[in-house]
Homo-oligomer: A and B are copies of this chain.
Amino acid sequence: MNAQTRIPVSMPALLRAARRAYGGAIRADLDRAGYDDIPRNGLYVLGALANRDTPLSEIIRYLGMSKQAAGQLVDALVSRGYLQREVDAEDRRRLTIRLSARGEDAAILMHETIKRVDARLAQRVSQEWIDHTRATLLALSDTSQSET
């Protein structure tokens, strides 16, 4: 038993690597299908919308970035045809976002890729452990919200 029996890998590093595993696969599939102009956090926006009208403010909170950055991100997704944006009739300050047809196609493809990666993971790790993982990650993101 020598000194470096075990290098402790930190949670953040594991989380980063795991997220990149999904990210890389998703990017590759979307690029191949012609959806090659989605900005970095755009994938999370597409994933969050799922054919329901969504206020921009919700996206801002969800992404956890400045409202300007979120606005720019949505701008880009609108001008590239992934999103539609319209003014709320009841409160004319408010913007409502929804997926366009192209956006929905990309979102569907993305979820298929995620499923594929999930399936490959399930070959290496029991479904039970994956469930524990989801619960743990959920607990982590909860605590960070309560810090605000």
A interface SS class: helix
Q: Does A108 contact B (CB under 8 A)?
A: no
Do the beta carbons of A21 and B124 come within 8 Å of each other? no
Which of A48, A135, A144 counts the most B-chain CB atoms under 10 A from its CB? A144
Q: How many copies does the complex hold?
A: 2
Whether the pair B24, A12 counts as a contact (CB closer than 8 A) is no
Do B21 and A141 have beta carbons less than 8 Å apart? yes
Residues facing B in A2-24 (CB within 8 A) are 7, 9-24
Segment of A78-86, A90-98, A126-134 in the binding face: A126-134
| Nearest Cβ on chain B to A14's Cβ, whole angstroms | 4
- Say whether A18 contacts B64, CB under 8 Å: no
